[in-house]
Structure 1
Amino acid sequence: MMRLNLLPWRERQRRSMLRRFQWMLLGSAILALCCVMLIDQLARQRAQQQATSNASHQSALALLGKQLEQHTDVRADHDATQAQVAALARLRADQGVLPALLADVEAALPAGLQLTELTLAHGRLHVTGVAASGAVVAQFMRDLERSAVLQGLALKHVKHLPSGDEFVLTARVSAFWS
């Protein structure tokens, strides 16, 4: 029988497979390197887009911040104006209180009574005067109690003098500014 030597053929086959494996390994490495570079490039591009987007958002936020400051200033001015309008409305509402108060005091003055001092402070009225008798003071107090402007009328003291009775009355003025 004839014997064939297959060693050289197997050796060539083995080298050929080794070369093919090396080329495939080299191709895989190059392909993997290309994939990594592509992914890196996409990641850098995405990061750049994100930075651009963040910069535009920051500029929009800065613009909104300026508008918010202006809005806050306008709101503060509006609140101050509203407070002034409310104060003016209170003053306008209280505008008739002083003439009404003086008219009520004048209408309540009986004969034989003389006012020496009339003080209005912090919504409180202090009346000092001299009367011919205690009955005149009582009549004056009854007439003042009918006033729509005065509340809580109180006689603080009466002092008997040779010229008459000196008295001090206090009352709270309703709807008066403070």
Structure 2
Amino acid sequence: MARINLLPWREELRKQQQQEFFLAIGAGVVVVCVAMGVVHGYIGANIDYQAQRNQFLQSEIDALNKQIAEIKELEAKKNRLVAKMEVIQQLQGSRPEAVHLFDELAKTVPDGVKLDEVTQGGRTLSLKGVAQSNARVSAYMRNLDGSPWLENPVLSVIETKGSASGDRPNRFDMSVHQTAIAGSGGKE
């Protein structure tokens, strides 16, 4: 007899096709999951690498900021020292000026003039004193104007007062400007 297959072959074919379909879907899902895992790992590695670079850059920035702060502190200290040195040099340069000033005051005072008070405010001197006559005050002003250390004498007040002895002294008040002669920085 001929062999007749009475088994439901269509149902078996459908089951086989369903199994192959589910197997293909499962394989696709596995491939997609593996691909997603690889991409996730790659992106995570890049993020970690960039985070390390950022951390390195931040540590370098912090070190440079610390160095900048130290440099600013050193510059401020240097500026303070330079200012102190300039003051010291100025004081050393002006040290002989007091000697020259008193020397010139002594040289310029003519006979018949007596200084009672000398006051210095910056480079301006205020001179108060007594003279025997107005001519003596004029001679004193000419002497001051001719001095290399003093200039521009300005007479503020001159008054004549009588005394019991009969002489009439002239009280005067004047100001004069102190000059600095070039090249005098402590060499004279």
> Does the C-alpha gap of structure 1 residues 9 and 149 become closer, same or farther in structure 2, counting only changes over 3 Å?
farther
- Mapped contact 2:144–2:151 kept (Cα < 8 A): no
- Structure 2 regions of 5+ residues with no counterpart? 1-7, 163-167, 181-188
What is the TM-score when the length of structure 2 is the normalising length? 0.78
Deviation at 1:15, TM superposition (A): 5.6
**RMSD of the TM alignment (CA)?**
2.2
Q: Tell me what 1:160 maps to.
A: 160
Percentage identity across aligned positions?
23
Deviation per CA, 1:89-115: give whole Å up to 9, x if none: 222232232222212211111111111
The AA in structure 2 aligned to 1:23 is L
Q: Tell me what 1:136 maps to.
A: 136
Q: Distance in 1 between matches of 2:89 and 2:176?
A: 24
What is the TM-score when the length of structure 1 is the normalising length? 0.82
- Mapped contact 2:153–2:176 kept (Cα < 8 A): yes
Deviation at 1:54, TM superposition (A): 2.3
Q: Tell me what 1:3 maps to.
A: none
Q: Distance in 2 between matches of 1:11 and 1:150?
A: 131
Q: Distance in 1 between matches of 2:154 and 2:14?
A: 127
Aligned pairs (5 A) from 1:1-178? 18-162=18-162, 163-174=168-179
- Structure 1 regions of 5+ residues with no counterpart? 1-7
Q: Across the two proteins, how many residue pairs are aligned to each other?
A: 168
SS in 2 for 1:111: coil
SS in 1 for 2:55: helix
Deviation per CA, 1:57-111: give whole Å up to 9, x if none: 2222222222222212111100100111111222223223222221221111111
SS in 1 for 2:119: strand
